[in-house]
Every structure is written in C-alpha cells, then in structure tokens.
Amino acid sequence: MSYVLTAQKRETAGKGAARAIRREGLVPAVVYGDKKDPVTISLSPKELWLQLHTGQTFFASTGEIQIGKEKETVICRDVQFHPVTDVPLHADFLRLGKGATITVEVPVSFINEEKSEGMKRGGVLNVVRHEIEVVCPATAIPDGIEVDLAGLEVGDSVHISAITLPKGVEPTITDRDFTICTVAAPSSGEKAAVEEEDGEGEEEATEE
C-alpha cells in the first residue's frame, strides 16, 4: 500500500451535510464498490493534499483508509476542486476487494535518447501517449512503462506491441497496435544545419 488516510465516518449524506463538513475544515468523501454499501466519510485536508501533490501517482496507486477500527483498501477515482481556490471539495474512493482488477492510467517514460541515431541527427521525439490505460490486478499496478529509444532512426515509431508489459497487465485498447511515440524529422532550420554539418564532414574527407 502506498498511503494510509485516517477518516471519520459520517452518518448523514447529501449537499447540506457536505457543506457542514467543509465548515468544520474537513473534506467530505465516499468509499464505494465491491458490492457493498457506500460509506460517507470526512478526511483531513492536509493528509489529502500530501497525496494529491504526488500527482498522477496518487490516482494510479492503491492505499488504505482507516475508518475507526476498520480499514478499506481503495484507489482514488476522483477529486473535485473549488473552481477558484483549488481547495479539494470532495473525493471518491473505489473499494478494492480480494483479487480485484482495475483500470488505471500508467505514466510512460523514455530512456536511451542519447542512443537514438535519429535524435543524434536532430530528430525530435514526438510523444503520442504520456500515459497508457491498462487493466491489471489491484495489487500489481505498474509504477510506469519504459520505452527504449536506442537505435531509433528518424521516421521510426514505437507501438504498444514493442513493449513487454508485466504479467497480468493488458492495455485497454486491444483493437489496434497503437503508437506511443515517433522520432520526427527536424524542423527546416535544424535540418539545414544538420545537412550543412554533414556536407562539411564530406568536404573534409575529400580534402584528406
């Protein structure tokens, strides 16, 4: 588990009850799913903010919510913010039962840019997907998906079929071999500079 949040159970629900919770300086929330009744709770805004500051990781990680003597294994599905102040107004947590599978967006990272021949020659990495939506066991969410750029030339693309995903992890898009990134040709100015450098190299070789 990546985090633990301490919560208080709320006996009443609805907009009026939620406003009352906010006046107390807390954030109203709900835990639902796993074929059980929803549980309305209130959270410490400080604890929630600390997790929200982890960015996308928070929404792709499982955690626990301590409600009195009980613990719920959850994943955050949504946080509503005030349109002006960005203060969290409400949070939704999906309850995860034993053996549950979930759909999450996993961040993509790129390695070995310095080993891409195309990028050495001025090519530009065009990222088509910064995250990839996958279905996976709730207990085995990948931290990220790495794309190796070594050996890529200008015009080359990396598709999902080239990526080895962890066991039990499958992309939600299954009807096509979608593109993750491409190495695009340099802009006209950059291309001219590259060609000029190549030309100088050829001239030097001829003079020798």
Torsion of CA 75, 129, 136, 64, to 10 degrees: -20
Looking at the structure of the chain, the number of domains it has is 2
Q: Which of these, 142, 124, 120, lies nearest to 132 by C-alpha position?
A: 142
User: What CATH number is attached to the domain comprising 78?
Assistant: 2.40.240.10
Among 98, 131, 166, the domain-final residue is 98
| Residues ≥6 apart with Cβ < 8 Å to 193 | 122
| Same domain assignment for residues 80 and 117 | no
65 forms bridges with which residues in the sheet?
5, 72
| Same domain assignment for residues 17 and 50 | yes
pTM: 0.75
pLDDT 10s digits, 155-187: 999 999 999 999 999 999 999 999 999 999 987
pLDDT 10s digits, 43-94: 999 999 989 987 667 888 899 999 989 999 999 999 999 999 889 999 999 9
| Same domain assignment for residues 110 and 202 | yes
Average pLDDT over every residue of 90-109: 94
| Same domain assignment for residues 56 and 107 | no
Higher pLDDT, 112 or 189: 112
In this predicted structure, the answer to whether residue 40 has a pLDDT above a threshold of 80 is: yes
